[in-house]
Structure 1
Amino acid sequence: MRIIITAATIGEWMPVFVNMNTLYTGESQRLKVRFHQSGVGMLASAVSLTRLVSEEKPDLIIQAGIAGCFDSNMPLGKVVVVKEEILGDVGVEEDGKWKDLFDLKLEKSNYHPFEKRKLPNPWLSTYNLLKLPELTGITVNQISTQPSRIEQLKKKYGAVVESMEGAALHFICREANIPFIQIRAISNYIGERNKAHWKMKEAIEALNEVLVKYVDRLYKIK
């Protein structure tokens, strides 16, 4: 089984690379793991992941990363999986309201790869092997900081976590029919710009601990 662990930055998977490099990329004949840096944001990720899918044709793509959270009751460092993605900033602000592609009738809500305006993961029931909490994600090119904008996104979409790359993964893998899972650790609450309150190190450590357990579980069942 060919698995690719992808992240926007090397720092998000570097700790787990050290742990897995010998076991799964060198000696195992049942499981081949490769690590991939997609770059930050939807544009870089879309180009990088499209090339990856067409050239490598993996059996499973694991997108790993940190994320901001809209829910202040969610503990920082919590590791979750994204069950569905939403495009959060493709559209127009008009008369104090946010109108996305579907509101503007530039895209049909159920036109592939979308389903009811979202990009769900149809392989989640198969690949959420650790039974991690399944949440709705929203992808943006500009991190949300303004209270009015944050409230707007929460009210319109009901997303719990925010990233800059998740929708690219969901869109491309749904188009290419490649199984995938998006695993993220909560590093901060959305709108909190005082990074002294963020838990980046703890989130990355928790994320990598889960990735090791996840790949080990895959190895045992495949």
Structure 2
Amino acid sequence: MILAVAATEIEMQPFLAEFAGDASSCLTLVTGVGSVETAVCLTRFLCLLEQPVEAVVNFGIGGAYLQPAGSKQPALLDLCLAEQEVLGDFGISLPDEIVPLDRSLTGEIMCSLGGELLEAGQRLLESHGLVCHTGVFITVNGVSGTLCRGEMLRARWQGICENMEGAAVARVCREFSLPCLELRAVSNYVEDRQPASWRLVDACRQAGRAAALITKGLFQ
């Protein structure tokens, strides 16, 4: 059984539409926005679950960092798969950098999401003609509203996109020894805020459909 996880109903609805009411093929969970709600909700769900879960597919929208010249740049509505998740703004916030706290105090702030599930997700997307970017995803407590902050986080962690829940899902999955795949569709660029250019609804639809495609493929 696969557990599909999203932060909001607007992200989950396109996923559910692809299954046409077939609730037997997977479980779904809407966690709420942010790392705290996500960690609490997912942990409670897994603790109370009576049937075994084989893997978690976490999906939603994300903001793409502007990459240096010569690097691949995720475009609006492009799909991205996480190789690693990091709590990117957890630490000491200075004007021009965020300094991570001592790991002896915080524990590990980065989770690896590589392996067979990531490879399977890539193959399934590519088999349907969907190109995806892979790399480091950065989980933040506050979304980056300026190009300066986005560039600071991108450079610090070599990230390709940011979100608000991924590291929490990855950390809980590691605690429960569950393979985890994270997929994001780019809804906006991380720059000085320009809401008029965002593609939130389209990105939710793109992410939900791609996550459903992967989830269905994992059953075969």
TM-score by length of 2: 0.84
User: Is residue 55 of structure 2 the alignment partner of residue 63 of structure 1?
Assistant: no
Deviation digits for residues 57-84 of structure 1 (CA, Å, limit 9, x no counterpart) = 4211111100001036321001111110
Secondary structure of the residue aligned to 2:18 is helix
Match of 2:32 among 36, 39, 43: 39
Maintained 8 Å contact 1:5/1:61: yes
Maintained 8 Å contact 1:87/1:167: yes
Alignment of 1:1-222 (within 5 A): 2-23=1-22, 25-26=23-24, 32-56=25-49, 57-71=52-66, 73-94=73-94, 96-102=96-102, 106-107=105-106, 114=108, 118-123=110-115, 124-125=117-118, 127-128=120-121, 129-130=123-124, 132-220=132-220
- 4+ aligned runs moved over 3 Å, structure 1: 94-97, 122-127
1:111 paired residue number: none
The letter for the 2-side match of 1:170 is: A
Taking a change above 3 Å as real, the CA distance of residues 33 and 91 of structure 1, as seen in their structure-2 partners, is same
Q: Offset at 1:41? A: 0.2
Q: Offset at 1:172? A: 0.9
Taking a change above 3 Å as real, the CA distance of residues 185 and 96 of structure 1, as seen in their structure-2 partners, is closer
TM-score by length of 1: 0.83
Deviation digits for residues 140-185 of structure 1 (CA, Å, limit 9, x no counterpart) = 1101113332222122111111000000011111111011111110
Taking a change above 3 Å as real, the CA distance of residues 19 and 156 of structure 1, as seen in their structure-2 partners, is closer
1:29 paired residue number: none
Provide the identity percentage: 27
Q: Offset at 1:34? A: 1.6
Find the aligned partners of 1:200 and 1:70 in 2 and give their Cα distance.
16
Deviation digits for residues 161-213 of structure 1 (CA, Å, limit 9, x no counterpart) = 10000000111111110111111100000124222101112212221221232
How well do the aligned residues superpose, as a CA RMSD in angstroms?
2.1
Taking a change above 3 Å as real, the CA distance of residues 37 and 94 of structure 1, as seen in their structure-2 partners, is same
Extract unaligned runs of 5+ from structure 1.
Answer: 27-31, 109-113
Find the aligned partners of 1:151 and 1:215 in 2 and give their Cα distance.
33
The letter for the 1-side match of 2:36 is: L
The letter for the 1-side match of 2:77 is: G
2:129 paired residue number: none
Find the aligned partners of 2:98 and 2:81 in 1 and give their Cα distance.
27
Count of residue pairs brought into register by the alignment: 205
Extract unaligned runs of 5+ from structure 2.
Answer: 68-72, 127-131
